[in-house]
Amino acid sequence: MFSLGIDLGTSNTVAAVTVLSEGQYKTVMIPLSGGRTGISLRSSVSFDRSDIMYTGVEAEKMKKQYPDGNASGFKVRMGTEYLYSANGNFHSPVELSAIILERVKTEAEKYMNSKLRDAVIAVPAYFNHNQRNATREAATIAGIRVKQLVSEPTAAAISYWNRVRTKEAKNILVFDMGSGTTDVSVVRAQGRYFKVLGTYGNTRLGGSDMDRQIEDKMKLFLRRLSVIPYPAGLRSEAEKLKIKLSRHESAEVLLGPEKIKYTMSSRQLNEIVERMLPDIYKCIDTAISNSGISRSRINILILTGGSARIPFLFHSIEDYLSIRAVKNIDPETAVAIGSSILASGFINGDNGEISRIKLNDVVPMSLGSVVLNDIAVTMIPANTPIPCSNTRPFTTIRDYQKEIEVKVVQGERPMGSDNIQIGIFRLSGIKPAPRGEVSINVTYSVDKNGILTVTARDEDTGSSREITIDNSMQHNPEEIQEMKDKVKRYFKADSERKKMAEIMNRSEQLLHDLKGIANRQLSSETVYYNINVDILRVSKAIKSNNIRLLSQLTEKLELEYGLKNSL
pLDDT in tens, 223-245: 999 988 888 889 889 999 999 99
Range of weakest confidence among 70-79, 216-225, 343-352: 343-352
Give 38 or 430, the one with higher predicted confidence: 430
In this prediction, residue 471 has a pLDDT band, given cuts at 50, 70 and 90, of very low
Between CA 321 and CA 186 the distance in angstroms is: 13
**Nearest partner of 155 among 119, 108, 130, judged by Cα:** 119
What pLDDT sits at residue 61?
Answer: 78
Number of neighbours of residue 555 by Cβ within 10 angstroms? 12
Question: Which of 138-142, 252-256, 517-521 holds the top average pLDDT?
Answer: 252-256
Does the structure show a pLDDT above 60 at 487?
no
Q: Tell me the per-residue pLDDT of 161-189, one tens digit each, with 9 for 90 and over.
A: 888 867 788 999 999 998 888 989 999 99
Between CA 63 and CA 57 the distance in angstroms is: 10
What pLDDT sits at residue 352?
Answer: 55
Which residues contact residue 129 at a Cβ distance below 8 angstroms, ignoring those fewer than 6 apart?
Answer: 450, 470, 471, 472, 473, 474
What integer is the mean pLDDT of 280-302? 92
| CB 338 within 8 Å of CB 155 | yes
What pLDDT sits at residue 462?
Answer: 82
Torsion (CA) 312, 313, 315, 321 in degrees, nearest 10: 150
**Nearest partner of 158 among 369, 414, 358, 367, judged by Cα:** 358
pTM higher than 0.85: no
Give 104 or 53, the one with higher predicted confidence: 104
Residues in the chain: 567
What pLDDT sits at residue 245?
Answer: 93
Question: Which of 186-200, 210-224, 487-501 holds the top average pLDDT?
Answer: 210-224
String of DSSP letters for 277-302: HHHHHHHHHHHHHHHTS-GGG--EEE
CA 193 to chain CA mean position, Å: 20
What pLDDT sits at residue 270?
Answer: 95
What integer is the mean pLDDT of 458-470? 77
Question: Which of 78-87, 309-318, 356-365 holds the top average pLDDT?
Answer: 309-318
Number of neighbours of residue 387 by Cβ within 10 angstroms? 14
Does the structure show a pLDDT above 50 at 338?
yes
What pLDDT sits at residue 351?
Answer: 54
In this prediction, residue 482 has a pLDDT band, given cuts at 50, 70 and 90, of low
Range of weakest confidence among 103-117, 411-425, 516-530: 516-530
| CB 133 within 8 Å of CB 104 | no
| CB 157 within 8 Å of CB 131 | no
Torsion (CA) 542, 547, 551, 556 in degrees, nearest 10: -40
| CB 71 within 8 Å of CB 83 | no
Number of neighbours of residue 526 by Cβ within 10 angstroms? 9
At 520, which amino acid appears? Answer: R
Give 355 or 37, the one with higher predicted confidence: 355
Between CA 506 and CA 438 the distance in angstroms is: 18
In this prediction, residue 485 has a pLDDT band, given cuts at 50, 70 and 90, of low
In this prediction, residue 493 has a pLDDT band, given cuts at 50, 70 and 90, of very low
Range of weakest confidence among 426-440, 460-474, 543-557: 460-474
Q: What's 168's DSSP letter?
A: S
Does the structure show a pLDDT above 90 at 273?
yes
What pLDDT sits at residue 483?
Answer: 42
Q: Tell me the per-residue pLDDT of 185-214, one tens digit each, with 9 for 90 and over.
A: 999 998 888 889 988 878 678 898 999 999
In this prediction, residue 480 has a pLDDT band, given cuts at 50, 70 and 90, of very low
Angle CA(182)–CA(187)–CA(189) in degrees, nearest 5?
A: 145
What pLDDT sits at residue 419?
Answer: 82
Does the structure show a pLDDT above 90 at 277?
yes
Q: What's 258's DSSP letter?
A: T
Question: Taking all residues of the chain, what is their mean pLDDT, rounded to a whole number?
Answer: 83
Torsion (CA) 317, 131, 118, 32 in degrees, nearest 10: -60
What pLDDT sits at residue 221?
Answer: 93
In this prediction, residue 130 has a pLDDT band, given cuts at 50, 70 and 90, of low
CA 196 to chain CA mean position, Å: 11
Question: Which of 6-10, 356-360, 395-399 holds the top average pLDDT?
Answer: 6-10
In this prediction, residue 280 has a pLDDT band, given cuts at 50, 70 and 90, of very high
Q: How are beta strands 116-123 and 146-151 bridged, if at all?
A: parallel
Range of weakest confidence among 151-155, 431-435, 470-474: 470-474
String of DSSP letters for 326-358: P-SS-TTTHHHHHHHHHHHTEEE-TTS-EEE-E
Does the structure show a pLDDT above 70 at 34?
no
Between CA 159 and CA 152 the distance in angstroms is: 11
Question: Which of 56-60, 150-154, 425-429 holds the top average pLDDT?
Answer: 150-154
String of DSSP letters for 194-233: EEEEEEEEETT-SHHHHHHHHHHHHHHHHHHTT--SPPTT
Cα–Cα distances (Å) from 388 to 352, 364, 375, 384, 404, in that order, read 31, 13, 23, 7, 25
Q: What's 325's DSSP letter?
A: B
Q: Tell me the per-residue pLDDT of 368-388, one tens digit each, with 9 for 90 and over.
A: 988 888 888 899 987 788 889
Between CA 334 and CA 198 the distance in angstroms is: 20
What pLDDT sits at residue 148?
Answer: 87
What integer is the mean pLDDT of 269-286? 94
| CB 72 within 8 Å of CB 11 | yes
What pLDDT sits at residue 24?
Answer: 67
What pLDDT sits at residue 217?
Answer: 94
